[in-house]
Amino acid sequence: MIVVMQPLAGRDDVSAVISRVEAGGCTVHETSDDGRVVLGVLGRDALALRDALAALPCVERVVDIAPPYKLASREWRRSATVVSIGGVAVGAGNPVVIAGPCAVESWEQLLATAEAVKAGGAHLLRGGAFKPRTSPYAFRGLGAEGLKMLRAASDQTGLPVVTEILAPGDIDLFVQHADALQVGARNMQNFPLLDEVGRVGKPVVLKRGMMATIEELLLAAEYILARGNTQVILCERGIRTFETATRNTPDLAAIPVVKQLSHLPILFDPSHSTGNRRYVAPMARAAIAAGADGIMVEVHVHPEAALCDGNQALLPAEFAALKRDVDAIAAALR
């Protein structure tokens, strides 16, 4: 961390800042540039001093050198983290495909979709039992019943299941039924929920908030890692911009950026990022080409009858074609 003093700061001001830093357990290296004093602050506790130093009238600004997240950073861990979801390795080089309906609507719909995505080559099943909906009158999922159906469909097809948890209090239910816990975009900064999923030994798929920066996404991951759960997978799902032609704006640049800043695997969700079936496959292909560790895609056997997000659901045949493309792109990249 670097502390830049005000041009008119006197010797007493500089000494006071140095004493403050040393009292905080850090060391200081003093230099000056054109008469202005610049202090290099070194030490593990430097971040804790940051705001107090920045608030001093004699300090012009504080410049961070290290990122504010630690456990999620590439500096902390150079090699890529591989997370296993029920034996399926995410981040090991082979793109992982997670597919299934937006929501569990009935046993018949879930099983037919699970079997269809399995036949199309999916590695993992997705589906929401507890749905975060903008309107309280929309279909909000089958709840605990839906979770049980997901477990049964997973057992029947052999596809491990990823499903979204909304409330910290539901954690035991999810640990019992899910192979991976999804924290959705709307809950990326639900800190009690992050704490709770950080406490358990299940992989977590953490989606980027629709108004979150990449740094905020990595800080949300840091909450989970800091609680002791190292099995974190990030997911880019599009962000809100001024563009209205797509539901969100897919931020594909987040994939190489996250790869540079963090050791954690990152998936891409072409369904929520575009909101339109026509754009799902092109963006999924682009994400794999950009280095994503996999995709999470919505599929429905009857999109026209879906209770949630039918507009962006692929038909099983479209999904199977996309899976072939994903494999071809991955092979070409190798």
Report the residue from 118, 123, 237, 263 that binds ligand PEP according to the rule CB under 6 A: 237
The reply to whether 247 sits near ligand PEP by the rule CB under 6 A is no
What are the tokens at 29?
A: 């290296």
Q: Is there a contact between 270 and 281 (Cβ–Cβ < 8 Å)?
A: yes
CB of 259 to ligand PEP, least distance (A): 20
The reply to whether 284 sits near ligand PEP by the rule CB under 6 A is no
Residues 164-183 contacting ligand PEP, CB under 6 A: 164
8-40 as b/e, with b when 16 or more CB fall inside 10 Å? ebeeebbeebbebbeeeebebeeeeeeeebebb
How long is the chain?
A: 334
User: Binders of Mn ion: how many residues, by CB under 5 A?
Assistant: 2
Report the residue from 272, 277, 300, 323 that binds ligand PEP according to the rule CB under 6 A: 272
Q: Rounded to whole angstroms, how far apart are CA atoms 232 and 225?
A: 7
The reply to whether 303 sits near ligand PEP by the rule CB under 6 A is no
CB of 264 to ligand PEP, least distance (A): 17
How many other C-beta atoms are found inside a 10 Å radius of the C-beta of residue 282? 14
Q: Can you tell me whether residue 326 is helix, strand or coil? A: helix
The reply to whether 105 sits near Mn ion by the rule CB under 5 A is no
The reply to whether 102 sits near Mn ion by the rule CB under 5 A is yes
Whose Cβ is closer to ligand PEP: residue 59's or residue 123's? 123
* Residue 198 phi, psi (nearest 5): -75, -20
Report the residue from 91, 95, 141, 184 that binds ligand PEP according to the rule CB under 6 A: 184
Running DSSP on this structure, what letter comes out for residue 229?
-
Binding mask 116-155 for ligand PEP (x = CB under 6 A): ------------x---x-----------------------
Report the residue from 21, 41, 185, 193 that binds ligand PEP according to the rule CB under 6 A: 185
Q: Rounded to whole angstroms, how far apart are CA atoms 134 and 157?
A: 32
Tell me the helix, strand and coil percentages in the chain, rounded to 5. 40, 20, 40
Chain position whose Cβ is nearest to Mn ion: 102
Give me the residues that bind ligand PEP (CB under 6 A), please. Answer: 102, 128, 132, 164, 184-186, 207, 237, 269, 272
Give me the residues that bind Mn ion (CB under 5 A), please. Answer: 102, 309
